[in-house]
Structure 1
Amino acid sequence: MGITTGAQGLTVHRRGLWGSASGNPAPLWFRCTVRRKSRRVPSTTTPLPYQNTRFQTRIAEAGARLSEWSLNPWRKLSLLVLTFLLSFLIGVGLGSISGALDLMDLVAAVLCVLVLELSVRARGVLRRAEGDRLPLHLLDMARMGLLYGLLLEGFKLL
């Protein structure tokens, strides 16, 4: 099935979900080919890459500067301790605020489980990544601090 348009005589053919006339299996999405005077040019199936914005560039530069800054072991240790204490503070605050309101217990529990599960999934990706291990260590310290803060608040209620 083809549609001829324009002065160049472009014809767009569609192949279905289960293959083409040549017997090659097509993917599960429709692939369009453009024919121009008996020459076939397959269209691209991958999206074009987006142009980096200034914000994305600045975030990448800040991450690179942080990695360079943390090459010193004392700086890295201080960064890890600050991450642990900040996430501990968030865990204690979340537990005490949701306990005081007595309405948000279920929402806070679901939120905490969701954050911890997503961090476990992100940890697998960071373990396989090449290069600096700083993001992995920061994520681990944040997980430990949040969990420790929540457990401490739970034991206060006993």
Structure 2
Amino acid sequence: MQNTRLNNLSNAIATRLREWFFNPWRRLSLLLISFLFGFFLGSAVATTAGQTAEWDIVVAGTLVVVTEVSSRIFYRSSIFARRSLWIESLNFLKVGFTYSLFLEAFKLGS
């Protein structure tokens, strides 16, 4: 790739963001935000899909596939290897999403 100003700027921004998220407290806060966003998504999907009761099976199948794919991405690497931030964020999003769906099911009594 050519060494242009735009390329240098994008590399500098990516390096600074990587260093900024290397701080453990910022990393933890981003993972917590990801968990809470997954919780919100689970609640939103459950209420939206349950409105018409026509797409329940399709939405449930899609959600199972998405959850299993994200689990496969997260657990495919070694246990001792340090995972990247976006993979950990995806796992926390999945955990929040699943927790929210279980909570919605308990609220509905089903």
Task: Report the TM-score when normalising by structure 1.
Answer: 0.54
**What is aligned with 2:19?**
68
Q: How far apart, in 1, do the equivalents of 2:78 and 2:17 lie? A: 19
For the 8 Å contact 1:116–1:143, the answer to whether it is kept is: yes
- AA of the residue aligned to 1:113: V
Task: Please point out which of 101, 104, 107 is paired with 1:153.
Answer: 104
Distance 1:63 1:97, change over 3 A: farther
Q: Which amino acid aligns with 2:35?
A: F
TM-score computed with the length of structure 2 as normaliser: 0.75
Runs (5+) with no aligned partner, structure 1: 1-50, 52-56
Higher relative contact order (CA 8 A, sep 6+): 2
Q: Name the amino acid aligned to 1:120.
A: S
Q: Structure 2 stretches of 5 or more lacking a match?
A: 2-6
Q: How many residue pairs are counted as aligned between the two chains?
A: 101
The question of whether the paired residues in 1 share the 8 Å contact of 2:41 and 2:97 is answered with: yes
- Contact (CA 8 Å) 2:74, 2:88: kept in 1 or not? no
2:55 aligned partner? 104
Structure 1 or 2: more helix by fraction: 2
Structure with higher Rg: it is 1
The alignment's C-alpha RMSD in Å is 2.7
Aligned partner letter, 2:49: S
Instruction: State the Cα distance separating 1:116 from its structure 2 match.
Output: 0.5
